[in-house]
Amino acid sequence: MIQNHIVSRIRRDGGSKIFSKMADRSDVQSQTGLQRLNSEDRKTCWVCFATEDDDRAATWTQPCRCKGTTRWVHHSCLQRWIDEKQRGRSNTVVSCPQCNTEYRIVFPKLGPLMYLIDVADRIVYKVVPYAAAGMVVGSIYWSAVSYGAFTVMQVLGHKEGLDIIESVDPIFLLVTLPTIPIMLILAKMIHWEDYVLRVWRRHSSKIPLLNYLFPSRQENRQVPRAPAEPAPLSDPVSATRLLCSALLFPSIATLWGKLMFSTVDSNLQRTILGGIAFVVIKGVLRIYYKQQQYLRQAQRKIQDFVPEDEQAPTQHAQ
């Protein structure tokens, strides 16, 4: 009897302690869950980082698919953020930076007049780039036509050139005259001097005069290496120089023809002879200049570094 009474009391006291511990643990878990729910439900603006406790009168919105605290934002803060993204262009699409959801922006309904003005503004906004490109292309085209007509009268003579232009079909002129500056630029891009220079370097040993002017790398020991040569049109200055020299070539050919072949009666023949003479003389000088630069680059040396305090006694001794 006594033993049964003691066992029953121990069971009763132990069970009550166990139930009390379980109740305490459940209370802690419920409080943690409530705190977590409160923290998730608490509104925090992701633009200004203010909470609903800071300004209870502010208007809140959830414009995207974000979850948790990032789904809430002040309506005024979001308006300012959208203004920064659109920069005055109301048609620009703005999306959430977290979930990339496109914001649904609704404007008040436009009146008939405002609607027509808005449509016209959108059409002009889309058409203006193409119109500007067309004007640029048209300006270049008519500039090429004018340059071609001026070149014809300059090469053939004013009277002869004007007679030919007036006698030819206008459509043919509108097609052929713009090709004159294009052909001049394409012809200028042919670097025939470089090809001739490479051939002369390869075969200059067979001709004593050429061997003197353009020494070969194999037989001349003073050329220890083959230096790198700059690529054509490698810098903007080369492209500008090519364009200017190509467009000025008819004037230069006409001037050289008048100076060197004044006895020739035909303006066309005189201009052609002047152009050939200019190209040949300039090409020979350019070949000689490039070869000498080539030799200088091949024979360059890199000196050892000498400190300034060691250079001063050497200069005084000399």
The winner for highest mean pLDDT among 69-73, 83-87, 296-300 is 83-87
The answer to whether 206 and 169 have CB atoms below 8 angstroms apart is no
**Per residue in 153-201, pLDDT tens?**
999 988 899 999 999 999 999 999 999 999 999 999 888 888 888 887 7
- Amino acid identity of 64? C
The answer to whether 298 and 223 have CB atoms below 8 angstroms apart is yes
- Judge whether residue 315 has pLDDT over 80: no
The band of 218, judged by pLDDT with boundaries at 50, 70 and 90, is very low
End-to-end CA distance of the chain: 129
| pLDDT, average across residues 40-58 | 80
Classify residue 215 by burial, with Cβ atoms within 10 Å: 0-12, 13-18, 19+. Answer: buried
Q: Please give the pLDDT value at position 309.
A: 73
Give the residue extent of every domain in the chain: 1-41, 190-301
Q: Please give the pLDDT value at position 2.
A: 47
**Per residue in 230-248, pLDDT tens?**
666 555 667 888 899 999 9
Which residue has better confidence, 315 or 58? 58
Rg over alpha carbons for the chain, rounded to the nearest Å, is 44
Mark residue 233 as left, alpha or beta (left: phi above 0; alpha: psi -120 to 50; beta: remaining): left
Look over the chain and give the mean of its residue pLDDT values, rounded to a whole number: 79
List Cβ neighbours of 15 (8 Å cut-off, separation of 6 or more). Answer: none
**Per residue in 94-139, pLDDT tens?**
888 888 888 888 888 888 898 899 899 889 989 999 999 999 999 9
- Judge whether residue 41 has pLDDT over 90: no
Which of 7-11, 150-154, 196-200 shows the lowest mean pLDDT across its residues? 7-11
| pLDDT, average across residues 80-84 | 90
Q: Please give the pLDDT value at position 190.
A: 87
* 204: helix, strand or coil: helix
The band of 68, judged by pLDDT with boundaries at 50, 70 and 90, is confident
Classify residue 204 by burial, with Cβ atoms within 10 Å: 0-12, 13-18, 19+. Answer: buried
- Judge whether residue 24 has pLDDT over 60: no
